[in-house]
Amino acid sequence: MLYEDYRREKMQALKNKDTFKNKVITGLMSDMTYKMKEKGQDLSEEECQAVVQKALKKAQEAYDLAASRPDKQEEMAKEIDILKGFLPEQLTAEAVQAKVNDLFADLSPQEANKGMLMGKAMGALKGLADGRVISDAVDAWLKKA
């Protein structure tokens, strides 16, 4: 989705009187506007997705920190659901592991280091899986191989 698509989603949330979704989208658009001003041009679809992923990561961290406050966790869970709706379907841990195994099938563990592997894996799986899941898959490949 591009910035204009988020604007349309915001207008739809306003029409539906969904104040919570409107608040979440307003925050995303604010982050995107800041990024556009920083960059000096419109954002690509991948850059918009990166903004949503960053917001999702913050929301998940806030959810974890609010363990003693069920009301806050409920609110954060709702925000997480809305943010996930703006991202493409994420791969499962098993699917990520299979892709990592395929990606590094021609390498031996002796000639690889985690930094090099992570760079290659993150490039190949960008936007399809969380960085922690990819890191776990790379660690498992290094231990297995």
CA dist., res. 60 & res. 79, Å (int)? 9
The total of other beta-carbon atoms located within 10 Å of residue 59's CB is 22
Q: Does 111 score more than 80 pLDDT?
A: no
Whether residue 101 contacts residue 124, with contact meaning beta carbons closer than 8 Å, is answered with no
| CATH 1.10.1510.10 in the chain, residue ranges | 3-85
Is the domain spanning 3-85 CATH 1.10.1510.10? The answer is: yes
State pTM to two decimals.
Answer: 0.74
Output the CA torsion sign for 1, 119, 105, 136: negative
CA 124 from chain centre, in angstroms, equals 15
Q: What is the pLDDT of residues 24-46, one digit of tens each?
A: 999 999 999 999 999 899 988 88
